[in-house]
């Protein structure tokens, strides 16, 4: 009698502890090995792009909070930059520095979440996640102090930022920035010295640079594969051209490299925040714009380097206060283009860890 | 900084979280803040404890307890007196002497109920210990709402699970679905039999106690597999297949580790193993370090705990073999995991840490308390491992068992057999013999562990893998290639 | 003057394209170059392979519904030379628009083309897996089209002018009933204002 094995379908369903949101994958498996993978998204589709066509540009800023809900400041910044380029609005210098500070704080918070959940996916029962959440909690406290909300901040406005940070913001920020480097070292030492973690993440989910570029990968996933591309250096917006920071780049392109790139980016963000705090000038925190801003008819594709990569906004204006077309270029969705090739032939555990390293946010995928 | 006020007088720091941390204070400050009545009661209890201890010390040293039936240090005396009394009962039932029947059944029932009560009591508090300790590792509080300090949380969990609706999947095999929660509890209870709690307090003092323990714990494999199979769910099937492969593989290192214990002590009876350790004033943990490590690590695989909890890897297959179980059925699985952890702690204590003895201290402190403390310490180590380590992949686990542990365990058995035969023939005083063996064993273990790992190709030194490079200029494929060419 | 800081002048790209593949360019403005929709994949492949433009990555792909036609916008990025090229293709069929797929050239177009198909109904030939992305299989229609949920007469739902407070009279809300006297609701509005015709 011969034995045969039959592939079966496993549904890693919308509710699952490790799909980072309502995200569904159907895998066809043979034993422990994945033969094929199919993604089904759309569980969080809220028709943001259609709704945005009937609201003014300022009213559309909260949509960007909820698209990438772990990087609200970056989303806000992207939209505001795009509209400012479209409508030729001047931004005061103080506002630019404040934008940089908050965008980098958001990057640290988002990377804490991303790295923490990656290590939890590898099985560490949330201990490193909760350690990284200490700093994330402090950053969210700073956000709440300034604009009233922790997650969906709605802080950037067209022409600047919404509020001036209160006086107790700056000492708290100084304290945070002073203790961050040793905390990041603590996290690094806690996780990276761990052989089990290295065994789980080294040489897993490798993407070559050619595949990464062709597959429109952006952000830490692209940099993990060795491609030194960062929009903050390529197309400097706000005051990034005056900041001195480096772009960490991985070597192999595996899960461990992406984790390391994110960790190093938090260190660089601390540097940027410190420089911005030293150099910030006095001045107004936004320019006055008409309540219903009517940009010239035209189009713009404005983008920022969010924690997940290139968050772009394609706006078409027809001279009315509402955009004619409002499209969010979601890095999480496009980073998933290569998931199928990467997962074929891998074990299920490896596929889960690879998905965790791509750092997806389902709100951005579905919009 | 431009916006800073002239004098920043910070009574309290700005962020709410920092404010909470400072207001709460250190443990010492919290203790000082307790209400006066609580401090008085605590002082009374403390002094009462000291007086009681002094009293016990007096009667123990005075020799008033030895051999008496009210010797609470060893409840076996009381049972023995009870048995003697029961045998004198007159009457016959069904052709057999009532006295003999009673003398057999009553102590059996008392002992059984005692073990079950202990186990049940531990289940009530063990869950609390685990969650609070895990929370402390993760710098958070853990359950502190239900009852004082959250002590009633396990009770609340049990009540909640009991009143939940029990869902049986449509395609599941009903009979086979009902069996596993019950089936998995049986080995967890039965394996407590041979463990000696004091000199006369082993419930089932079998002369093949060790063999019995190993075989009974293998029965849980069947229950786990049955749970996954009958659920009609791919997650469950995956989990149970992983578990079966893992449990069966790790039986062998366990057996080989315990074989070395048997070679040294010369007996399969657990009370004899403990007695050997007491007589020689030597814990087998020192003499057989590799066996201890192997037994401990393989037990985490047997009871599905991190780092070997791939079978119920929450992040991949939701809950593995007990995905489909709800209500008290799931509660039984969770309870058994807890009970098994304590059982393994007790087994480690018995085989390697001297059991209920503590170099003569068992004359004063009852043996069962000593064993309880050691078992809890083992449980603490399990929780510590769970909080700190990520989990292994299934193929890494199997690799580890077959390629690493089994060859080294066989080598260990060979070495211990040689040492045992030397000990039998050598006439030197025991301290020389065993002291030499301790040194040799520890040195060889330290060497062999690294050498064998290197030999089969495990990455040895945990220096960090390649650090990321910092790019000076941005670019695309060309820049990537040049970075790699340089790097 | 292109608005993006590193965006190439479309006319320069148009000239180069026209030289290499004659007849492919329809229009070249300062911001974008518009190509023949049926030969879109040739243009993208040429831009991808050319040394001068090196369009290695597809940054973004988007569709715009212009009432009688669809415009597909492709933002191409060269990482080594750090410049951006915008390519457009207009499909004049509003009922069943078709376009060659960019997947053979840029694998990053896999999900973006599915999204455009789902929300606007543009079919891409050569895409290996053309099905809806966000909405379910039997969903009637394509939501991002301008005539989806149309009320008629060029009206749209939502706020025409949003109410705001009058600082002089704090109790009064200007435009509380959401209309303005100057706008009449009889004549259909040309939402493009003639700018995109």
Q: What DSSP string runs through chain C?
A: --SSTTBPPHHHHHHHHHHHSTT-EEEE-SS-EEE-GGGHHHHHHHHHH-TTT---EEEEEEEEE-SS-EEEEEEEEETTTTEEEEEEEEE--SSS-EEE-STTT-TTHHHHHHHHHHHH--EEET-TT---SSS-TT--S-TTSTTTT--BTTB-SS-SS--EE-SSSTT-EETTTS--TT--SSSPP-TTTTS--
C173 contact A CB<8A: no
Cβ of A185: how many Cβ atoms within 10 Å?
12
- Give the percent of chain B with pLDDT over 70: 92
Partner residue opposite C158 with nearest CB, options A54, A86, A337: A54
The secondary structure element, H or E, covering residue B219 is helix B209-230
A36 contact C CB<8A: no
Instruction: Name the pLDDT band for B8 (thresholds 50, 70, 90).
Output: very low
User: How many angstroms separate the CA of residue B478 from the nearest CA in chain C?
Assistant: 6
The secondary structure element, H or E, covering residue A161 is strand A160-161
| Buried/exposed C40-59: b ≥16 CB within 10 Å, e otherwise | bbbbbbbbbeeeebbbbbbb
d(CA A105, CA A142): 9
ipTM: 0.89
d(CA C109, CA B280): 74
| Residue A164: exposure state from Cβ atoms within 10 A (0-12, 13-18, ≥19) | middle
Per-domain residue ranges of chain A: 54-366
| Residue B269: exposure state from Cβ atoms within 10 A (0-12, 13-18, ≥19) | buried
Partner residue opposite A310 with nearest CB, options C59, C119, C148: C59
Say yes or no to pLDDT of A353 above 60.
yes
Chosen from A204, A226, A233, A279 to mutate, greatest number of chain B CBs within 10 A: A226
Contact flag C57-B477 (C-beta cutoff 8 Å): no
Q: What torsion, rounded to 10 degrees, do the Cα atoms B373, B374, B377, B382 define? A: -130
Q: Which two tokens stand for residue B131?
A: 């969650």
> What's the sign of the alpha-carbon dihedral B431, B437, B442, B447?
positive
| Residue of chain A minimizing CA distance to B476 | A227
Contact flag A297-C193 (C-beta cutoff 8 Å): yes
- Partner chains of B (3+ C-beta pairs under 8 Å): A, C
Contact flag B475-C57 (C-beta cutoff 8 Å): no
The pLDDT assigned to C171 comes to 56
| Residue of chain C minimizing CA distance to A233 | C82
Is-contact B409 B256, C-beta < 8 A?
yes
Contact flag A227-C60 (C-beta cutoff 8 Å): no
The pLDDT assigned to B11 comes to 56
- Angle between helices B289-302 and B328-352 in degrees, nearest 10: 170
More confident residue, B15 or C14: C14
Average pLDDT, chain B: 84
Q: What torsion, rounded to 10 degrees, do the Cα atoms B89, B92, B98, B101 define? A: 160
Enumerate the β-bridge partners of residue A249. B469
Contact flag B474-C79 (C-beta cutoff 8 Å): yes
User: How many angstroms separate the CA of residue C94 from the nearest CA in chain B?
Assistant: 38
- Cα angle C190-C194-C196, degrees, rounded to a multiple of 5: 105
Q: What is the pLDDT averaged over residues B16-38?
A: 80
Comparing CA positions, the residue from B198, B255, B389 lying closest to residue B310 is B389
Residues 6+ apart with CB under 8 A from B289: B441, B442, B445
d(CA B450, CA B460): 8
Chain A residues whose beta carbon lies within 8 Å of the beta carbon of residue C107 = 211, 214-216, 337-338
Contact flag B315-A228 (C-beta cutoff 8 Å): no
Helix (H/G/I), strand (E/B), else coil: A317: strand
Instruction: Name the pLDDT band for B256 (thresholds 50, 70, 90).
Output: very high
Contact flag A337-C107 (C-beta cutoff 8 Å): yes
The pLDDT assigned to A97 comes to 94
Say yes or no to pLDDT of A304 above 90.
yes
| Residue B179: exposure state from Cβ atoms within 10 A (0-12, 13-18, ≥19) | middle
Comparing CA positions, the residue from A108, A73, A70 lying closest to residue A273 is A108
Helix (H/G/I), strand (E/B), else coil: A37: strand
Say yes or no to pLDDT of B204 above 90.
no
| Residue of chain B minimizing CA distance to C57 | B476
User: How many angstroms separate the CA of residue B324 from the nearest CA in chain C?
Assistant: 28
Q: What is the pTM of this model?
A: 0.82
What does the DSSP assignment read for B231-281? Answer: TT-HHHHHHHHHHHHHHHHHHHHHHHHHHHHHHHH--S-HHHHHHHHHHTT
Chain C, 142 to 161: residues with Cβ < 8 Å from chain A are 143-144, 148, 156-159, 161
User: How many angstroms separate the CA of residue C163 from the nearest CA in chain A?
Assistant: 11
d(CA A197, CA A201): 6
Q: Which two tokens stand for residue B81?
A: 């007196």
The pLDDT assigned to A91 comes to 93
The CATH class given to the A54-366 domain equals: mainly alpha
Q: What is the pLDDT averaged over residues A111-136?
A: 84
The pLDDT assigned to B199 comes to 84
Chosen from A290, A292, A295, A301 to mutate, greatest number of chain C CBs within 10 A: A301
Q: Are strands C33-35 and C83-91 parallel, antiparallel or unpaired?
A: parallel
The pLDDT assigned to C161 comes to 52
Residue with tokens 């040394």: C51
Chain C residues whose beta carbon lies within 8 Å of the beta carbon of residue B476 = 54, 56-57, 78-80
C5 contact A CB<8A: yes
Instruction: Name the pLDDT band for B486 (thresholds 50, 70, 90).
Output: low
Average pLDDT, chain A: 88
The pLDDT assigned to A80 comes to 94
d(CA B292, CA B286): 9
| Residue of chain A minimizing CA distance to B11 | A168
Is-contact B367 B199, C-beta < 8 A?
yes
The pLDDT assigned to A92 comes to 94
Chain A residues whose beta carbon lies within 8 Å of the beta carbon of residue C65 = 325
Q: What is the pLDDT of residues A257-280, one digit of tens each?
A: 899 999 999 999 999 999 999 999
Chain B residues whose beta carbon lies within 8 Å of the beta carbon of residue A17 = 314-315, 318
- Cα-trace Rg, chain A: 21
A211-215, B479-483, C116-120, C178-182: segment of lowest average pLDDT: C178-182
| Residue of chain B minimizing CA distance to A257 | B468
The pLDDT assigned to C194 comes to 55
Say yes or no to pLDDT of A152 above 70.
yes
The pLDDT assigned to C74 comes to 93
- Partner chains of A (3+ C-beta pairs under 8 Å): B, C
Contact flag A145-B15 (C-beta cutoff 8 Å): yes
Chain B residues whose beta carbon lies within 8 Å of the beta carbon of residue C80 = 475-479
| Buried/exposed A171-182: b ≥16 CB within 10 Å, e otherwise | bbbbbbbeebee
């Amino acid at each position: 009698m011969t034995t045969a094995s039959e592939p079966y379908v496993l549904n890693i369903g919308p509710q699952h502890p490790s799909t980072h949101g309502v995200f569904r994958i159907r895998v066809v498996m043979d034993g422990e090995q994945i033969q094929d993978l199919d993604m089904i998204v759309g569980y969080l589709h809220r028709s943001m792009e259609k709704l945005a066509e009937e609201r003014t540009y300022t009213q559309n800023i909260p949509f960007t909070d909820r698209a990438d809900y772990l990087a609200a400041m970056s989303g806000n910044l992207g939209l505001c930059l795009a509209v400012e380029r479209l409508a030729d609005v001047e931004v005061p210098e103080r506002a630019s520095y404040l934008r940089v500070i908050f965008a980098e704080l958001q990057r640290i918070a988002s990377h804490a979440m991303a790295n923490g959940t990656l290590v939890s996916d590898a099985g560490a029962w949330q201990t490193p996640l909760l350690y990284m959440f200490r700093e994330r909690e402090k950053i969210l406290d700073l956000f709440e102090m300034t604009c009233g909300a922790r997650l969906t901040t709605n802080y950037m406005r067209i022409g600047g930022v919404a509020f001036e940070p209160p006086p107790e913001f700056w000492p708290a920020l100084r304290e945070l920035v002073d203790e961050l480097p040793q905390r990041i070292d603590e996290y690094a030492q806690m996780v990276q010295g761990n052989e089990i973690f290295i065994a789980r993440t080294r040489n897993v989910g490798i993407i070559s640079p050619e595949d990464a570029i062709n597959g429109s990968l952006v952000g830490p996933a692209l940099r993990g594969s060795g491609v030194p591309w960062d929009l903050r250096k390529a197309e400097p917006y706000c005051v990034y051209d005056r900041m001195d920071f480096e772009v960490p780049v991985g070597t192999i392109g595996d899960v461990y490299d992406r984790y390391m790139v994110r960790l190093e980016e938090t260190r660089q963000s601390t540097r940027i925040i410190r420089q911005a705090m030293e150099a910030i000038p006095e001045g107004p925190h936004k320019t006055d714009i008409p309540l219903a801003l009517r940009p010239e008819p035209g189009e713009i594709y404005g983008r920022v380097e969010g924690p997940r990569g290139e968050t772009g906004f394609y706006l078409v204006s027809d001279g009315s206060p509402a955009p004619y077309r409002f499209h969010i270029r979601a890095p999480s969705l496009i980073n998933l283009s290569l998931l199928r090739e990467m997962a074929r032939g891998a074990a299920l555990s490896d596929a889960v860890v690879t998905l965790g390293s791509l750092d997806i946010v389902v709100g951005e995928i579905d919009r | 900084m431009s916006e800073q006020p002239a004098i920043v007088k910070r009574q309290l720091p700005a962020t709410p979280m920092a404010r909470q941390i400072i207001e709460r204070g250190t443990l010492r400050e919290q203790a000082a803040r307790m209400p006066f009545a609580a401090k008085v009661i605590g002082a009374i209890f403390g002094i009462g404890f000291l007086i009681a201890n002094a009293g016990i010390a007096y009667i123990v040293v005075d020799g008033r307890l030895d051999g008496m039936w009210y010797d609470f240090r060893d409840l076996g005396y009381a049972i023995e007196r009870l048995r003697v009394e029961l045998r004198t009962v007159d009457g016959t039932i069904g052709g057999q002497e009532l006295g003999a029947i009673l003398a057999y059944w009553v102590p059996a029932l008392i002992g059984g109920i005692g073990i079950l009560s202990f186990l049940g009591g531990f289940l009530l508090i063990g869950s609390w210990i685990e969650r609070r300790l895990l929370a402390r590792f993760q710098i958070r509080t853990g359950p502190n709402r239900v009852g004082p300090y959250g002590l009633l949380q396990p009770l609340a969990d049990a009540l909640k699970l009991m009143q939940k609706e029990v869902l049986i999947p449509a395609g599941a095999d009903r009979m086979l679905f009902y069996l596993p929660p019950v089936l998995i509890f049986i080995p967890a209870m039965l394996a407590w039999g041979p463990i000696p709690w004091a000199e006369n307090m082993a419930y089932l003092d079998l002369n093949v106690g060790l063999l019995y323990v190993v075989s009974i714990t293998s029965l849980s494999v069947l229950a786990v597999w049955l749970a996954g199979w009958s659920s009609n769910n791919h997650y469950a099937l995956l989990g149970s297949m992983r578990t079966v492969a893992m449990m069966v593989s790790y039986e062998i290192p366990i057996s080989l580790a315990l074989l070395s214990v048997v070679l040294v002590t010369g007996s399969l009876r657990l009370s004899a193993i403990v007695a050997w350790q007491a007589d020689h004033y030597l814990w087998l943990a020192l003499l057989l370090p590799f066996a201890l490590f192997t037994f401990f690590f393989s037990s985490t695989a047997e009871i599905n705990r991190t780092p070997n909890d791939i079978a119920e890897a929450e992040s991949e297959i939701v809950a593995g073999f007990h995905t489909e179980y709800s209500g008290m059925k799931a509660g039984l699985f969770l309870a058994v995991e807890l009970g098994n952890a304590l059982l393994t702690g007790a087994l480690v204590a018995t085989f390697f840490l001297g059991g209920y003895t503590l170099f003569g201290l068992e004359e004063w402190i009852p043996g069962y308390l000593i064993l309880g403390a050691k078992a809890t310490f083992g449980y603490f180590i399990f929780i510590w491992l769970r909080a700190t380590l990520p989990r292994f992949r299934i193929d890494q686990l199997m690799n580890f068992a077959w390629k690493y542990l089994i060859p080294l365990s066989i080598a260990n058995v060979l070495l211990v057999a040689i040492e045992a035969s030397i000990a039998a023939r050598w006439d030197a005083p025991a301290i020389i013999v065993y002291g030499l063996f301790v040194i040799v064993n520890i040195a060889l273990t330290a060497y062999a562990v690294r050498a064998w790992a290197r030999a089969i190709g495990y990455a040895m030194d945990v220096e960090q893998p390649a650090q990321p490079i910092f790019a000076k200029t941005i670019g695309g494929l060309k820049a990537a290639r040049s970075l790699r060419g340089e790097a | 003057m292109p608005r993006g800081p590193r965006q190439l002048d479309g006319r320069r790209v148009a000239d180069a394209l026209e030289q290499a593949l004659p007849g492919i360019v329809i229009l070249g403005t300062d911001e974008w170059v518009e190509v023949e929709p049926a030969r879109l994949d040739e243009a993208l492949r040429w831009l991808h392979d050319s040394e001068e433009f090196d369009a290695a990555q597809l940054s973004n792909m988007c569709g715009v519904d212009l009432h009688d036609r669809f415009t597909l916008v492709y933002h191409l990025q060269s990482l080594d030379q750090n410049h951006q090229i915008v390519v457009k293709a207009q499909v004049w069929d509003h009922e069943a628009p078709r376009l060659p797929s960019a997947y053979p050239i840029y694998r990053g177009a896999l999900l973006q083309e599915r999204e455009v198909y789902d929300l606007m109904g543009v079919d891409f030939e050569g895409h290996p897996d053309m099905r809806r992305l966000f909405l379910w299989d039997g969903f009637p229609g394509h939501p991002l089209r301008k005539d989806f949920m149309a009320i008629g007469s060029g009206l749209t739902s939502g706020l025409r002018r949003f109410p705001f407070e009058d600082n002089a009279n704090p109790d009064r809300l200007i435009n509380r009933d959401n209309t303005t006297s100057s706008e009449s609701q009889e004549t259909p509005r040309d939402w493009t204002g003639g700018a995109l015709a």
